Every structure is written in structure tokens, then in C-alpha cells.
């Protein structure tokens, strides 16, 4: 029987870092299933889900944790199997506007009030074409629970967009 493990890692970016992690997983008969990784401010961070035979869970975990001597910070958790059944309804948000503190806080608060679960988010700061001002842009994927009042969510997001002078598109 295979067990699912989810691990995060963070370390100084360098060539071969992903290969090093993949080698450790493969050396313990692990299968790399999915991951998200990025470089931010010279650091390379990621999260990965792997499966590994039950007999190799402890050995793989110890091997991953031993990478701290190579400058990586690793955190490992047991993965959960997804329940069988219908997939939850999803929504996407695109947020764009002049950068300012509080954008993520306000949008995530509106989502929480409707019990909407963020499953993926990416954000970036770019320069506005004409002015060169800092622009905040985010893409959010989220699960909408049964009974969610979409009209109320749209009203909340419209209020936030107006208050912060940003665009929020819900689809």
C-alpha cells in the first residue's frame, strides 16, 4: 500500500535543487505526483505531494529532513486521500490594481465570510505600463460550498474593489 506525503521546502536557489529532491524521492521508491515551486527574492520554495510504499515512509521522511545540512528547510505531513464523489464547485478571481497593503486581507476575509476555501493563489507585483507605479495582480482558485450566496459575495467584492480602487473579476 502506498502512502501520500506532502512536503514543503525552502532554500537558497541554485541549479540542481529540484533534481536533488527528486533523487531522494526516487531512491525510496517514491512517485512525485504534483508540486508547486517558485523563486522569490533568491530563495526557492515549493510544496510537493508524493506517494511512497508504507515500508519507506520513515526512511523517505528522514532522508528529506537530512537535506537541512544542505541548506534546505523541509516540513513533512501525511497526505489525505480525496473523498470520492462529486467535485466541489469552483470559482476564479482575478485581482488587479495599484499595490497597497490590505488587498489580500480584505479579499480573503470576504471569501471566508462565505466559507469559500482558497485552493490556489498566485500574486505578483509588476509596473504599470504608463506610470511605472507598482501594480498588484493575483489569481485565485477557490471551492464554493453548497448554499453559498454568490450575489452577496459579488457585493462584498465590489465594495472592496471600490474602497481599494482595484478590479476584482469573479468567474
Q: What residue spans define the domains of the chain?
A: 2-78, 89-170
Strands of the sheet containing 134-144, edge to edge, are 117-127, 134-144, 89-98, 166-170
* Beta-ladder partners of 2: 53
Q: Nine-digit cell at 91?
A: 470559482
pLDDT at position 128 is: 83
Question: What CATH architecture does domain 2-78 belong to?
Answer: 2-Layer Sandwich (3.30)
pLDDT in tens, 56-111: 999 999 999 999 999 999 999 999 866 556 678 999 999 999 999 999 999 999 99
What does the DSSP 8-state code read for residue 151? Answer: H
Q: What is the pLDDT of residues 46-59, one digit of tens each?
A: 999 999 999 999 99
Domains 2-78 and 89-170 in one fold = yes
Average pLDDT for residues 121-129, to the nearest whole number? 91
Instruction: Quote the pTM value.
Output: 0.82
72, 76, 81, 82 alpha-carbon torsion, rounded to 10°: -50
Topology classification of domain 89-170: Alpha-Beta Plaits (3.30.70)
CA angle (116, 163, 109) in 5-degree steps? 20
Could you give the angle at which helices 17-27 and 57-65 cross, rounded to 10 degrees?
150
Amino acid at each position: 500500500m502506498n502512502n501520500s506525503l506532502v512536503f514543503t521546502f525552502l532554500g537558497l536557489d541554485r541549479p540542481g535543487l529540484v533534481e536533488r529532491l527528486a533523487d531522494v524521492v526516487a531512491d525510496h521508491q517514491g512517485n512525485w505526483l504534483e508540486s508547486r515551486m517558485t523563486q522569490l527574492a533568491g530563495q526557492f520554495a515549493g510544496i510537493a505531494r508524493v506517494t511512497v510504499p508504507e515500508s519507506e515512509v520513515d526512511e523517505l521522511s528522514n532522508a528529506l529532513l537530512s537535506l537541512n545540512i544542505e541548506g534546505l528547510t523541509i516540513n513533512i505531513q501525511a497526505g489525505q486521500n480525496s473523498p470520492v464523489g462529486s467535485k466541489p464547485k469552483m470559482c476564479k478571481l482575478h485581482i488587479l490594481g495599484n499595490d497597497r497593503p490590505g488587498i489580500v486581507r480584505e479579499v480573503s476575509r470576504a471569501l471566508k465570510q462565505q466559507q469559500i476555501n482558497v485552493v490556489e493563489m498566485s500574486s505578483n507585483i509588476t509596473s504599470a505600463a504608463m506610470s511605472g507605479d507598482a501594480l498588484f495582480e493575483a489569481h485565485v482558485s477557490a471551492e464554493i460550498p453548497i448554499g453559498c450566496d454568490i450575489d452577496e459575495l459579488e457585493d462584498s467584492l465590489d465594495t472592496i474593489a471600490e474602497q481599494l480602487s482595484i478590479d476584482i473579476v469573479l468567474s
